[in-house]
Amino acid sequence: MDPTLLNDTVRALHLLGLAIGFGVAIVADVSAARLMVRPLDAKEIEALHRVHRMVTLGLMLFWVSGLGLLWLRTGLDPAKFSPKLMTKLGVVTLLTVNAVLIGRIGLPVIDAMRGLRFGALPSGTRLQMAALAALSTACWISALALGVFSQLKKMYGGLLSEIIGLRYLIALASACLAALVAPLVDYVLERRSPHYWGPPVQG
């Protein structure tokens, strides 16, 4: 096969993997955010399991095509790895670890949340789930930015790491804030419910 055609084909598969993973992950995060204001039902639980499988498929395609591009462009010679490439490898590795944790920790919690809002979960579980969602979003956005913006290729490693690290910090801080506020939202919504009878009477 012509080298240019081969490179373009592998790059197209790489972008397809990114599109699948990024698009579906964002949909999942938006769906998860709705749990702040309404209970999770069985259909949504099933949908979130399908979403995780699709994200996993996109991530696998992203890895395979990415390694193919790495071989085509550098011959897998570490001396030819740019700071941008090293950062991208780190981001995708973290994304993979996070996806495994979502499957082993996040989905079982989702299964147990049927009929519950996010604020009804124990504080430790809320923070854990918020961190998993934040890392997923930050990783996919970072992977997209590293693949799209050519300006990042010219940055030295330290500055690039600071930019990516700040994005993770903002995502984690926002998610933790949402996790801390969630019980208050749940309390307010419960009081507004027509089935709310008030606190139990002592006596």
Token pair, residue 140, equals 């996919």
Look up the pTM and report it. Answer: 0.81
pLDDT tens figures, 40-58: 888 888 888 998 899 889 8
Mean of the pLDDT values across residues 172-178? 90
Cα(88)–Cα(91) distance, integer angstroms = 5
pLDDT tens figures, 69-123: 889 888 888 888 888 888 888 899 999 999 999 999 999 998 988 888 888 889 9
Q: What angle do CA 99, 102, 106 make, to 5 degrees?
A: 170
Spatial CB neighbours of 109, under 8 Å, sequence gap ≥ 6: 121, 125, 128, 129
Token pair, residue 84, equals 């941008």
pLDDT tens figures, 111-165: 988 888 888 889 999 999 999 988 988 888 888 888 777 776 667 767 777 888 8
Other beta carbons within 10 Å of 65: 20
pLDDT tens figures, 19-45: 888 888 888 777 777 777 888 888 888
Q: Which residue has the tokens 């099933």?
A: 46
